[in-house]
Amino acid sequence: MVKRVIIVGAVALGPKVACRLRRLDPEIQITVVDRDNLISYGGCGIPYYVGGDIADIEGLCSTSSHVVRDPEFFRTCKGVKIMPGVEAMGINRKEKKLDIQHLSDGRKESLEYDKLVIATGATPFRPPIPGADLPMVFTVSNLHNAKDIKDKISKGHVGKAVVIGAGAIGIEMAEALTDLWGVETTIIEMADQVLPTALGKNMSKVVENQLEKHGVKVMLSEKVECINGDADSQVTSVETSNGTMECDMVVLSAGVRPNTKFAADSGLAVGLSGALLVDRCMKTTDPDIYAGGDCVELRNLVSGENMTMPLGSLANRQGRIIANNIHGRASQFNGTVGTFCIKVFDMGVATAGLTSDQAKANGFDPVHAIVSQPDRAHFYPSAQLMFIKLIADSKTRKILGIEAVGGQDDAIKARVDAIAPLLQLGLNVDDVCVLETGYAPPFASAMDIINNAGNALDNILENLNKPIDVIDFVEAFKNDEIKVLDVREPKEAEPFVEKYRDRWMNIPQSELRERFNEVSRTDPVCLVCGTGARSYECQTLFVHNGFTNTINVQGGHAMISIIDPEFI
Amino acid sequence: MVKRVIIVGAVALGPKVACRLRRLDPEIQITVVDRDNLISYGGCGIPYYVGGDIADIEGLCSTSSHVVRDPEFFRTCKGVKIMPGVEAMGINRKEKKLDIQHLSDGRKESLEYDKLVIATGATPFRPPIPGADLPMVFTVSNLHNAKDIKDKISKGHVGKAVVIGAGAIGIEMAEALTDLWGVETTIIEMADQVLPTALGKNMSKVVENQLEKHGVKVMLSEKVECINGDADSQVTSVETSNGTMECDMVVLSAGVRPNTKFAADSGLAVGLSGALLVDRCMKTTDPDIYAGGDCVELRNLVSGENMTMPLGSLANRQGRIIANNIHGRASQFNGTVGTFCIKVFDMGVATAGLTSDQAKANGFDPVHAIVSQPDRAHFYPSAQLMFIKLIADSKTRKILGIEAVGGQDDAIKARVDAIAPLLQLGLNVDDVCVLETGYAPPFASAMDIINNAGNALDNILENLNKPIDVIDFVEAFKNDEIKVLDVREPKEAEPFVEKYRDRWMNIPQSELRERFNEVSRTDPVCLVCGTGARSYECQTLFVHNGFTNTINVQGGHAMISIIDPEFI
């Protein structure tokens, strides 16, 4: 019988396990230990605290009814004992004891458990470069750091900042520094794109442009070599392979590492990432020890491979599963499709599943469609352009991933959240074509962008739509390898025809049935319209008339102007 | 071999079939006939045209690149022949001929087909009451009516209007009349709630309050008996079972009837609704005749029963399926879960699946949870309260329906669209508890309201949460049948304790572990907090201590104040 449960970690998953377990069982002894004194906080809210959307740090550690979630709150309201300022040092699995040390006075003791839960999370990675330990080099790991960063900025100590790493936290922090405080901010990223684990390069360009548009400088394919400080240990600049960036503050956002040393030392199995391995009941390789949140590997339900997915949302869902299992109710967490979203100034970005590169690395043969379309009925006044990339396996037609970017956050989320269940269940392109989603003009087009992404991908898989990715198009056009037939109305095409002359021809769709023979049947011809829909329709006309040389530019001019704003 | 395809109806599904078919096949003869001269328009946009969000009627019949979709556009751009002003009179199925009449000159002719597509839609029902045919009594059926209505209002001819029927179109029209034009508008509905086919009565109250708050008068459980006119045939008033409402205009929105007479006369099978029966390939009982859109019955994927679901979104999806099948590519439309959404002023409403009443009528034993929670992290500044009702079958735990209402349209849509695939696939409550959706503080709480709705319903099904529906609570409290224990902080509970005295007791959650013995163990005690979450947690404490008399008010004070704003 389970009498004593010890939980290591009191940020997200730990408190969730504790509270759910107490609701299930009045008798069980529940103790949560944590290194920190600040517990049970919304760590994902830190960029919004720094950026001023949330005025006080208390906002992040209070309930929705404004009660601070401190040890006293857990004792009185939740019936849970919190031991703050306590570090877990090791696990004596044979005797079922957790060895701890009180950080205030160095005192050590052992706590007996019937079930142990490891909820130690992850720590931001501090790259081993000179200067990474200077005081003005911050990670975004806890509320203490968050306070320090905001304190320095609000006192006017920071004119220029460098953010190292263009993942979610790097981008959120860049927005926070720029938007409220006007700090001149540069993001430096090793990869050749922003959000490299979440987006394909084509879609990442939309985000890159958005950052630049809002004053954030983005430097890609650059490796940071050192961070320089002055005699007072103040940061002065960041040196990369390509040059030197002056700055007063550095934010490191180069990924996280799971906090699993004491657990791994006790012999619990860890994966390649260093995170703990758990089964679907969130049980480690020791039947009396559970783990969840940022310190475990989860099964990617699309690839079948293990991955880490450090998100408070997944941690909370897993917490309930762990409590159920400890209470004796079989309950499973099968894995993740990696659903992700981020606000980038006034733009929303959401993704789920694999990128094309990740799909290839996992043995799939990914094919994608990119569709640009208003997020609601095009005649509805608040409609804004949205871009969706849908990826499927060419052999099985199984959906592998979705990437969505556009102006209205929740509209982006709605599309990705509707596809995520299909990814979890291994459904295919045809299911996306007929997917039923909420429709009224203020919410969607009659044929929603999701369905049209499915339709476009179906057409590509069926070889009806012969596309070129917009990045490849822009490169090939610049290299003078292809000509363009613009099928928009003359007034839309005119500036392009003027700029590019004989390489940019215009026959509006309405005249194409009469005039298609004006087009070469031998040289490759890229068909362009506003979004890729009319040009696809024109391509079917060419194919029906025996042309084999037309290529449809995916996403049309809407995408071209994002990949290369200079294009026109 | 299919050489000639005739399509009857040129609004939504008809043009979709025609255009897709042309893209698949360059040779096939495609003719679309329609009674009207205005074709291929966004009929769902009519209320937004009347309400001024869309300035010109052309907005509703243009492409997103502002080209008017008239017969010339279909000829040149789409390679499709449109015959406007032509009525389908009958089908000679043996000889495969469609009998038509030209409305301009009465000329009759027969058109030969290899495949026929019926896309005749539905017509608003005009109830057989005296005065229903007066000129100022409008239905919302086509662009001509739409123009007439806007014309009358914009000329100042309408001070007061009555809308008959509180379904989607009735509510959208009431908003249009009130919001821009300031017309004093009353909605009269026979049922005892608004949106009776989409929402349960508890959730409908949120919408009813929203309408009243924005100046729309809502009269429920009233039957219209006649519409009165003056000597000039101007409308003067509407008489119901309960009284007389003065008005200058009446909008009838009492549902629609499928336009299937000529098809049914030819022997094609129709369902109880009068709509055509089709298989999953959208084929009628004649293998050479397809049908789709508002004039067919679809399979409800939750109940298994047939239903009509007149929505442009479904029509468009079906149109592509029909074209595929005519072209020889097997393609299926399996049915609908009835996903529905509507904007009501600045509130969004979305639903999918069955209401509790519909579930009961279909032999299920529905149990529901109502959760009130912010739509994004509670500390994020733009967070607004959202309400979700999740319904499952008590025996199988299968999800039967979801209803969501709240301040931010797309946030509402996101939740319902994420659940709709689960409804289609017959998944259960446990799948909702762990459902993975996009998370970051600007988009959602770490434990999103969807997951919490799943958790709450799981707790109810497991008998951990013993709830009372908020409507039942308000009634029972008014009838003096129950007492309340308010577990909020004293400052929140104080006005209630003062107003209701010995019937409203306050012990804040933080003191309850010490003070639970102050509560009666015999009389029924309703537990109330802000949203229903803390009160549930307190209930587990009572149950653990042997109390069998506590009942948790679902949705908490947030719901109570909506059901009865006078409550306090």
Q: How confident is the model at residue B180 (pLDDT cuts 50, 70, 90)?
A: confident
The two structure tokens encoding residue A319? 């917490």
At a CB cut-off of 8 Å and minimum separation 6, what does B257 contact?
B122, B123, B124, B125, B274
Out of A215, A238, A254, a domain closes at: A254
**Are B45 and A544 within 8 A, CB to CB?**
no
Question: Whole-prediction pTM value?
Answer: 0.97
Domain residue limits at A305: 4-43+54-121+257-327
| A21 and A111 share one domain | yes
Token pair, residue B261, equals 């007479």
Binned average pLDDT, 10 residues per bin, chain A of 568 residues:
95 97 96 95 93 91 90 96 97 98 97 98 95 95 93 94 98 95 97 97 96 97 96 94 95 96 97 97 98 98 96 96 97 97 97 98 97 95 96 98 93 98 96 97 96 98 96 94 95 95 96 96 96 96 96 95 86
Domain-located, residue B130: no
State the CATH number of the domain containing residue A537.
3.40.250.10
Is B210 in the same domain as B308?
no
CA distance A525 to A84: 67
Mutate to test the interface with A, among B434, B462, B540, B547 (most CBs of A within 10 A): B434
The alpha-carbon gap from B96 to the nearest alpha carbon of chain A, in Å, equals 28
Model pLDDT, residue A407: 85
Q: How confident is the model at residue B79 (pLDDT cuts 50, 70, 90)?
A: very high
In a domain, A49, yes or no: no
Tokens in use for B504? 């409203």
Which chain A residues touch B414 with a CB distance below 8 Å?
A: 410, 413-414, 417-418
| Greatest CA separation for chain B | 89
**Which pLDDT score, from 0 to 100, does residue B65 have?**
84
Q: What is the pLDDT of residue A566?
A: 85
> Are A313 and B509 in contact (CB < 8 Å)?
no
Contact B364/A at CB under 8 A: no
What's the Cα-to-Cα distance from B93 to each of A282, B89, B99, rounded to whole Å? 63, 13, 10
Q: How far apart are the first and last CA of chain B?
A: 71
Domain harbouring A208, CATH code:
3.50.50.60
d(CA B72, CA B61) in angstroms, rounded, equals: 13
Looking at the structure, tell me whether residues B526 and B416 fall in a common domain.
no
Task: Decide if B521 is inside a domain.
Answer: yes
Q: What is the ipTM of this complex?
A: 0.96
Instruction: Please answer whether residues B169 and B306 qualify as being in contact, where contact means their C-beta atoms are separated by less than 8 angstroms.
Output: no
How many Å lie between the alpha carbon of A79 and the closest alpha carbon of chain B? 8
Of B45, B337, B409, the CB nearest to A379: B45
- Residue B129 is assigned to a structural domain of this protein: no
Same domain, A101 and A58: yes
Contact B436 A373 (CB under 8 A): no
User: Do A390 and A422 share a structural domain?
Assistant: yes
Is A103 domain-assigned?
A: yes
Find the length of chain A: 568
CA closest to B415 among chain A residues: A414
Whether A436 sits inside 8 A of B541 (CB atoms) is no
**Token pair recorded at residue B520:** 């009666």
Domain co-membership, B442 together with B499: no
| Residue A446 touches chain B, beta carbons under 8 Å | yes
**Would you state the pLDDT for residue B95?**
98
Cα B132 to chain centroid, rounded? 25
For residues A102 and A13, state if they share a domain: yes
Instruction: Read off the amino acid at residue A415.
Output: R
Q: Are residues A434 and A355 in the same domain?
A: yes
State the Cα–Cα distance between residues A41 and A59, nearest whole angstrom: 9
B338, closest residue in chain A (CA to CA):
A436
Mark which of B435, B461, B487 sits at the end of a domain: B461
State how many domains chain A has. Answer: 4
What is the reported pLDDT for A524?
A: 94
Q: Which of A223, A254, A285 is the last residue of a domain?
A: A254
Residues in A closer than 8 angstroms to B534, CB to CB, are 65, 77
Nearest CA in chain B to A67: B489
CA distance A275 to A120: 11
Chain A 170-199, residues with CB within 8 Å of chain B CB atoms: 172
Please identify among residues 247-306 of chain B the ones whose CB lies closer than 8 Å to any CB of chain A. Answer: none
Q: Return the beta strands (E) in A501-548 as ranges.
A: 504-506, 525-528
Q: What pLDDT does A180 receive?
A: 86
Q: CA-CA distance, A202 to A186, in Å (whole number)?
A: 21
Residue A218 lies inside a defined structural domain of this protein: yes
How many residues does the structure list for chain B? 568
Query: How much is the pLDDT for A459?
Result: 98
Q: Is residue B198 part of a domain?
A: yes
**DSSP class of B277:** P
Residue at A297: amino acid letter = E
User: Does residue A48 form part of some domain?
Assistant: no
Dihedral sign (CA B274, B280, B283, B285) = negative
